[in-house]
Amino acid sequence: MSLLNALGGAPERYTCSRARCTARARTTILWRNPAIHSEDRTKAWLACDEHLEYLDGFLRSRGFPVRHERIPDGVRAGDDGATTTEEESR
């Protein structure tokens, strides 16, 4: 049993990382702080369409390297936090 299941289960969908936002995340923002992270270490934030520009700007204004990966339609959070498509989960 995963920790997520013990706490009530994995989320059905990804949620935006912006404070108090509960919208569905459409993009993963991958970033790192070069002052403390090596090049092979990245962190991930999730962004809805409304907050993508805000979150990206917050990171870039600090000089952090940033890249985006779109979350495809039909992808949701799996029981172990991994992504699965809706067809795979049936």
CA 64 to chain centroid, in Å, comes to: 17
Q: What does the alpha-carbon distance between residue 68 and residue 11 come to, in Å, rounded to a whole number?
A: 22
Beta bridge partners of residue 75, listed in sequence order: 85
User: What pTM value is reported for the model?
Assistant: 0.73
CA atoms within 13 A on the CB side of 4: 10
Is the pLDDT reported for residue 90 higher than 90? Answer: no
Q: Write down the pLDDT at residue 89.
A: 36
Provide CB contacts within 8 A for 29, sequence distance 6+. 17, 44, 45, 46, 47, 52, 55, 56, 59, 66, 67, 68
Is the pLDDT reported for residue 52 higher than 60? Answer: yes
Is the pLDDT reported for residue 45 higher than 50? Answer: yes
